[in-house]
Structure 1
Amino acid sequence: MSDAAMPAAQNFHDLYRDHRGWLESWLRRRMSNGNDAADLSQDTFVRLLASSQSIADLQEPRAYLATVGKRLLANFYKRRSLEQAYLDALALLPEDCVPSPEQRWILLETLQALDELLDGLPTAVRRAFLWSQLDGLGYHEIAERLQVSERTIKRYMAQAYEHCMLVDL
């Protein structure tokens, strides 16, 4: 390790030593599983390592860690909800149509990527896009479901396509 990297590594070590226990307790109060809290605590510090944030410049380390932890917690529960919806849908399938564990994992990863891709779009735009792309509904049917004009659906679709293209950049 270079001499320049030594202070940064020491700063990180000190931050981890001083605040890991607090962060894990903070997360545990918001979660039902202590192991998940420990994992999210570790993920928070990994995010800090991967960020451009200088550890030495942190004025309020606990506030910063809590902010990152809140985001990871929200993502955790969102992922759990998506997983449960997927498992509920699988339970409705005939036994001979149930995908293998490997296929399930790939499908779940794809669903999560799609969810992240569409994150940030208004609900109506998201629904219109998913009904069009996944269910094969036409603009007229989508307009009826959302109780808006077909012109509005065209605008929603353009917004969704633009969002997908910009996120992909």
Structure 2
Amino acid sequence: MFVLRTSGRSAAVDDDCREFSLLGKRHVSGLALARPVTTGVRSRAVLELQQDRGGARFRALVGGEFVPGEGDRLAWRVRHWETVRPTPQQGLLCGALLPGLPEGLDHAAEAGLHADLDSGALPAGRLVIDRAGYDQESSPVLFATAAGLLLHVLPAGAFGSPAEPVIRSWVATGRIPAELPRVDVRA
């Protein structure tokens, strides 16, 4: 696990947090154009973001799995939490979060994926967002950002590239860099 902090933003990335599994049967899925790949391994990661603004502390936790595949398509799916009473769980950063991706935050997470999914810059394979955590102060904007950052963390893990520069940039600036380092997917 690695954690990066400034006075206004923090981020933590870990391999997995099963206690934040999304158990609902409802999901959204699709196919997107992708770059062909020749090698890579299964990658799983969980990312938690925290942003302090105006005396409020906004938090978002998302996680998932990427499996490189053949062809020129990325199959993606976002699972949603449904009618379960979640028990608070310790997040990656300080404090507890409720497991799940409730209505409103689910649409935000999907929106965070679409810009990069539609660009064709991601490698071919299968992407599943199946971990999430929120609290009363969770922000749809932060969930969209977390989902967008996760699209760079998971392929980086699959191809042995560091994800830390992208996370470090968000912690420092509050924005996902316009020019992201491309993950080398060649043999």
TM range (shorter): under 0.3
RCO comparison, higher one (Cα < 8 Å, 6+): 2
TM-score, normalised to structure 2, is 0.25
Higher alpha-carbon Rg: 1
Comparing both structures, which one devotes a greater share of its residues to strand?
2
Comparing both structures, which one devotes a greater share of its residues to helix?
1
TM-score, normalised to structure 1, is 0.27
